[in-house]
Amino acid sequence: METKIEKQENNIVKVDIEIPAKDAVNYYNNAAKKLAQYVNIPGFRKGKAPRNIVEQNIGEERIKHEALEDALPRIFSQVIRENNFDVVAQPYVESYDFKIGEALKISAKIELRPEVTLGKYKGLTVDVEEYKIPEDAMQKSLDALLQQHATTVVVTDRKTLNTDTIVFDFEGFSNGEKIEHGDAKNFTLDLANSSFIPGFAEQLADRPLGEEFEINVEFPKEYHEKKLAGQPATFKCKINEIKTKVLPELNDEFAQKIGPFKTVDDVKADIQKYLDNQKADIDRVNSEKAIFDKVTSEAKVDIQQSMIDRETDELIEEYKQKLASQGFTWEQAVEAQGYDNIVNQLKEDAQVRVKNSLVIDKIAKEEKIEVTQADFSAKLTELSRVYQMDPNTLIKQLSQTPGVFNALSQQALNEKVTLFLAENNTVKMK
């Protein structure tokens, strides 16, 4: 095999490849035999028809295409290995000349990883704003603890409060028409934490049991159902039941019920320990980010647009999956935010992500940081704990998603490089 390499702009190399006629015809013959196994040819068992008969039934071009599909991965692998190319995408064929009995000529392009020029990445001093535990954090934690252990009781001797949970009937109308799916019987609603239309829950406060009444609201202009967006609506309501929370008293008896504590002071000490650990984690994450931002800002790399475009496509797919998990569609997001606004933001994120990845890989190469089998196993163990799944079962499920193991390896490498930078630079908390 002979190759001619020509460097082009945007980290592209053009490769002209010439395969000897003998090898080319072997590729062709093997492809013909392979295809013959899947074609019914009268008078011949599958796979036993001679080449000329297979050509008559399938056609030379189909055989050539199959031959190239089989041969190109090996051909490109050899070219990449012999030239020590660091590729970032699959090579693509621009043209080929495949005549039986002659040398096979292929013209292809290969996209290479951009060269990264690192600035100073060791011995830096970075200022980081220290995280302060809010003054009311202890009280909020205690209040949340009491809320978790609150009991619910039914109230019959008063009107509703905006802190109650109610069971009620409602039926909605807009512009004289009944709202589709806008009614329910014995619906439970927490008035203090309602996701209903703005103003809906507020008007259910100070209402007596059993009395029918109407409330008036207006649907948000960005409401997902266009027919109702920005429109006024009236809801007929009736309160069937009022429930309220009764908080326990914060005393030593309560402390002994909720955990291995003897006194309220023990509970407070445990909360303070949690808050201190949280502060340490936030300071650590902020420090790591500040160091990495400093390192990447001083690194120089000319990223080709194709890399950013591919990363943007991946981010769009991730965004679509996130929307779906929240009960929304891509079309709804585009309608609400605008296609250009979403995509332009994702393009900016993609550019940052690509540069970060390139800088991490460059530092790893310079410092000979590698992901070991132990690192990869630790990452799988961590995931198995998160998903509460047996590691072997997790591996089987992950193996069904292309590229997931490469992504996990990249995560492990990112963490090792981040740790290296944290250990080799200084942070001043301000």
DSSP 286-306: HHHHHHHHHHHHH-EE---HH
The two tokens of residue 138 are: 């202890």
Picking from 43, 41, 69, the residue whose alpha carbon sits closest to that of residue 55 is: 41
d(CA 143, CA 260): 19
What is the model's pLDDT at position 46? 64
Going by pLDDT thresholds of 50, 70 and 90, the confidence category of residue 292 is: very high
What is the model's pLDDT at position 381? 87
| CATH 3.30.70.1050 intervals, the chain | 2-113
Going by pLDDT thresholds of 50, 70 and 90, the confidence category of residue 45 is: low
**Which stretch of 314-328, 358-372, 394-408 has the lowest confidence by average pLDDT?**
394-408
pLDDT mean over 133-143: 97
Give the mean pLDDT of the chain.
92
Environment class of residue 95 by beta-carbon count within 10 Å: exposed (0-12), middle (13-18) or buried (19+)? exposed
| CATH 1.10.3120.10 intervals, the chain | 264-429
Q: What is the DSSP letter of 161?
A: -
Largest CA distance in the chain: 99
Whether 52 shows a pLDDT value over 80: the answer reads no
Specify which of 83-92, 220-229, 378-387 reaches the highest per-range mean pLDDT.
83-92
d(CA 15, CA 17): 6
Considering only residues 223 and 251, tell me which one the structure prediction assigns the higher pLDDT: 251
d(CA 176, CA 376): 62
With H, G, I as helix, E, B as strand and everything else as coil, classify residue 428.
Answer: strand
What is the model's pLDDT at position 42? 65
Whether 40 shows a pLDDT value over 70: the answer reads no
Query: pTM of the full predicted structure?
Result: 0.73
Picking from 253, 249, 351, the residue whose alpha carbon sits closest to that of residue 303 is: 351
Give the percent of the chain with pLDDT over 70: 97
d(CA 52, CA 69): 21
Report yes or no: 430 and 130 within 8 Å, Cβ to Cβ: yes
Going by pLDDT thresholds of 50, 70 and 90, the confidence category of residue 363 is: very high
Give me the count of residues in the chain: 430
Report yes or no: 116 and 363 within 8 Å, Cβ to Cβ: no
With H, G, I as helix, E, B as strand and everything else as coil, classify residue 385.
Answer: helix
pLDDT mean over 387-411: 84
Q: What phi-psi label fits residue 2: left (phi over 0), alpha (psi between -120 and 50 degrees) or beta?
A: beta
Environment class of residue 268 by beta-carbon count within 10 Å: exposed (0-12), middle (13-18) or buried (19+)? middle
Integer-rounded Cα Rg, in Å, for the chain is 33
Give the percent of the chain with pLDDT over 90: 77
| 2-8 and 12-19 beta bridge pairing | antiparallel
What is the fold, at CATH topology level, of the domain defined by 2-113? Alpha-Beta Plaits (3.30.70)
**Which stretch of 90-104, 270-284, 317-331, 386-400 has the lowest confidence by average pLDDT?**
386-400
- List residues bridging with 128 in a β-sheet: 429
- List residues bridging with 172 in a β-sheet: 235
Whether 393 shows a pLDDT value over 90: the answer reads no
What is the model's pLDDT at position 341? 94
The two tokens of residue 16 are: 């002209």
How many other CB atoms are there within 10 angstroms of residue 180's CB atom?
Answer: 10
Whether 39 shows a pLDDT value over 90: the answer reads no
State residue 110 phi and psi, 5-degree precision: -125, 130
pLDDT per residue over 180-210, tens digit each? 999 999 999 999 999 899 999 999 999 999 9
What is the model's pLDDT at position 354? 95
What is the fold, at CATH topology level, of the domain defined by 264-429? Trigger factor, domain 2 (1.10.3120)
pLDDT per residue over 3-23, tens digit each? 999 999 999 999 999 999 999
What is the model's pLDDT at position 401? 79
| CATH 3.10.50.40 intervals, the chain | 151-246
Going by pLDDT thresholds of 50, 70 and 90, the confidence category of residue 311 is: very high
Contacts 24+ apart (CB under 8 A), 409-414: 409/371, 409/376, 410/357, 411/379, 412/371, 412/375, 412/376, 412/378, 412/379, 413/360, 413/361, 413/364, 413/369, 413/370, 413/371, 414/360
Correct CATH for 151-246 of 3.40.630.30, 3.10.129.10, 3.40.50.300, 3.10.50.40: 3.10.50.40
Considering only residues 39 and 145, tell me which one the structure prediction assigns the higher pLDDT: 145
Going by pLDDT thresholds of 50, 70 and 90, the confidence category of residue 397 is: confident
What is the model's pLDDT at position 1? 87
pLDDT mean over 336-344: 93
* Number of separate helices (H) and strands (E) present in the chain: 12, 13
Considering only residues 310 and 392, tell me which one the structure prediction assigns the higher pLDDT: 310
| 426-429 and 125-128 beta bridge pairing | parallel
